Amino acid sequence: MARNFSGSKSPSRIRFVLVEAELGDGDISQITQAITNALRPPTNAAVKRLSVSGPMVNGSDTVESELVEESVEGVDALDVTPAAPKHPRQRKSPRAPDIVAIDMNADMSLAAFAAGKDASSQHKKYLICAAWLKEHRSIDTVSAGHIYTCFRSMEWSVNIPDFSQPLRDLKRRKFFTKNDADEYEINHIGLDFVKKLGGNGTK
C-alpha cells in the first residue's frame, strides 16, 4: 500500500474541481459577471458558523471542517409584536358612608348653628358638624357617617374621595381625639376654634 508523505497509513484525499465551458463571441463578460456574483457573499446572510473537529483518537491527522451559512430570509415572518402593556390596577374609591339617623331640624338646627360661620374649607365644615353634634345632639364621638349625613343635610359638596381622611387630618392637628372604635371626638381646642369662626349660635 502506498503511503503519503507524512508516513500515515491513512491516505489523504484531495478534490479539485475544474470548470470548463465553451463560450461564444461576446459571452466572456457575461460569464465573468456570473462568476463574480457567485463568489460575492449574499447580502442577507446571517452568522457563518465554522465547526472544526480536532484530531481523531486513532492518531489520524485528518481534519474535517464544515462551513455553514444560515439565511435570515425568514426573520420577517417572526412575530415581533411587543406585548401589550399591563394596565395599572385602578384603586377603588372608598364607598360613601352610610346615612346616620340624626334629627337635623330640632332646636338647635345645624343650619342655624352654621349660619354666619366661616365654612370655607372642608376641615372647618367638619369641625362645625362635630361641634354641633356634641353641643346640641349630645353625640360626643362621630364617624365618617355622621359627617356625611350633616354634609347631605346642608347640601355641601360630598365629592370627597375618603370621608375619613379629614378626620384623620384634624386628629393629627390635635383638634380631635380617637377611641378604639375608630370614632373621633372634638376636643376643647376644636370647640374653641369653631367659636372663632363667627356666627351667633341662635336658631
Give tens-digit pLDDT for 3-23: 554 555 566 666 655 556 566
pLDDT band at 33 (very low <50, low <70, confident <90, very high): confident
Please give the share of the chain, as a percent, with pLDDT higher than 70.
Answer: 53
For residues 73-96, give the mean pLDDT: 59
Please give the share of the chain, as a percent, with pLDDT higher than 90.
Answer: 49
pLDDT recorded at residue 124:
98
136 has a pLDDT exceeding 50 = yes
Output the average pLDDT for the chain.
Answer: 76
Length, in residues, of the chain = 203
For residues 123-137, give the mean pLDDT: 98
Domains, the chain, in order of start with CATH, read: 110-195 (1.10.10.10)
- Give pTM, 2 decimals: 0.55
57 has a pLDDT exceeding 50 = no
Q: Which grid cell sits at 42?
A: 449574499
The CA distance from 56 to 98, in Å, is 88
pLDDT band at 203 (very low <50, low <70, confident <90, very high): very low
* Grid-cell match 374609591, residue found: 93
Which neighbouring-strand residues pair with 68? 49
pLDDT band at 92 (very low <50, low <70, confident <90, very high): low
The CA distance from 8 to 2, in Å, is 10
60 has a pLDDT exceeding 90 = no
Query: How does pLDDT run across 149-188, given as a tens digit for each residue?
Result: 999 999 999 999 999 999 999 999 999 999 998 899 999 9
pLDDT recorded at residue 28:
66
pLDDT recorded at residue 20:
62
For residues 120-146, give the mean pLDDT: 97
**Following CA atoms 68, 69, 70, 71 in sequence, which dihedral angle do they give, to the nearest 10 degrees?**
-160
